[in-house]
Amino acid sequence: MSKFNVAIVGATGYTGSELVRILINHPDIHISAITSESRKGERFSDVHPQYRGIFEPTLVSIEDIPNYELDLVFLALPHGVSMDFVKENHDKDFKIVDLSGDFRLSSKGVYEAWYKKDHNFEQGFDAAVFGSPELFRKRIAEAKLVANPGCFPTSAILALSPLLKEGIIDKNHITVDSKTGVTGAGIKAKPNTHFPVVNDNFTAYGVKSHRHTIEIQEIIGKYANSEASVLFTPHLLPVDRGILSTCYTRPTRDISSEDLNKLYHEYYDNEPFVRVGDDLPNLKQVRGTNYCDLFVTYDDRTNTIISIGVIDNLVKGAAGQAVQNMNIMLGLEETAGLNITPLQP
């Protein structure tokens, strides 16, 4: 059987590196091209030295993509840049998985309000399918453009969706408290991700205004066919990768921890990359993998449901979920290339 040809547009970041790590071992995929405008002409291993002797193609320009016969293109580009590629190539034969936030939201107006950027391809919002396989698998299978979910939203959406879908919680009082590793800020150094600032420290950021707030709110509402209101606060941990989101909701009827656990098993036991557990999950249980570990319980003292989602932000929160979406779009086994054992310790 011949392999599908894919390209990775954007090689220099963590997401591009993770896509390569997964795809070079995928049985059905050949990486035909990988691009970088700032490093074109160099080898991929010059940018990411861990690939020396493993994967060393020459990086090409994004302008060279039309020269390849491709089945699918991954866009590992910054927000506000992916839309240009989609606008110019939406009528091409290849499918697109966009790992930026350019097509995750419901409209141009919502995007511009939260991302503080102009959007130049409004019709892309109608064409794009939000790439959460556990929620929208059938639509993903038919899609030509998939908007890969954000990292924080992935952990929170999976932790919250059964509750809102079943009408168990007050849709106007949903609180998401998330912690992330530093790789979530990208590969370029910033003042707040400088080692002396991050090390032995713990900070909140994006309070009231983080763009993932609206993504979580819109998607759980869309899935449950109900409007919702989400309060989201992210925090930066002094670790390299991983996200732990703790969600607090108020039940609208009598509920028990046993009821909730049964519900989550009903929703997720047939999902290959969601694991519902009886013990509190932690970052190293999913490190380097496409798993999302979930835990749910009810606190009768405060009448609060607590649901926790844990992922690796670079895998299930980015490259791994993108490959999962690719598998669905190309009609491949959904788990192909993603059977990776967590790295612990």
Tell me: do 305 and 171 sit in the same domain.
yes
pTM of the model: 0.97
* Residue 292 falls in the annotated catalytic set: no
pLDDT tens digit sequence for 29-40? 999 999 999 999
- Residue 345 located in a structural domain: no
- What is the per-residue pLDDT for 257? 98
Distance CA 184, CA 243 (A): 9
For residues 158 and 307, membership in a common domain is answered with: yes
Residue 251's closest CA among 239, 235, 269, 263?
Answer: 263
Can you give the pLDDT at residue 190?
85
Q: Looking at the structure, do residues 63 and 163 belong to the same domain, yes or no? A: no
Q: Can you tell me which residue has the tokens 């930026």?
A: 100
The answer to whether residue 112 is domain-embedded is yes
With 80 as the cut, is the pLDDT of residue 1 above it? no
Number of domains composing the chain: 2
H helix intervals, 193-249: 195-198, 212-224
> How far is 110 from 108, CA to CA, in rounded Å?
6
Same domain, yes or no: 86 and 220: no
Enclosing domain of residue 211: 152-313
Q: Which of 31, 47, 62, 151 is catalytic?
A: 151
Q: What are phi and psi of 101, to 5 degrees?
A: -95, 10
Residue 35, strand partner residues: 9, 60
| 191 has pLDDT over 90 | no
Sign of CA dihedral 249, 254, 257, 263: negative
pLDDT of 187 reads 86
Residues 216 and 295 in one domain: yes
Instruction: Give a yes or no: residue 10 inside a domain.
Output: yes
Residues 248, 200: one domain? yes
Q: Are residues 187 and 129 in the same domain?
A: no
In a domain, 249, yes or no: yes
CB 316 within 8 A of CB 272: no
How far is Cα 207 from Cα 314, in angstroms, rounded to an integer? 23
3-state secondary structure of 233: strand
Is there a domain that residue 79 lies in?
A: yes
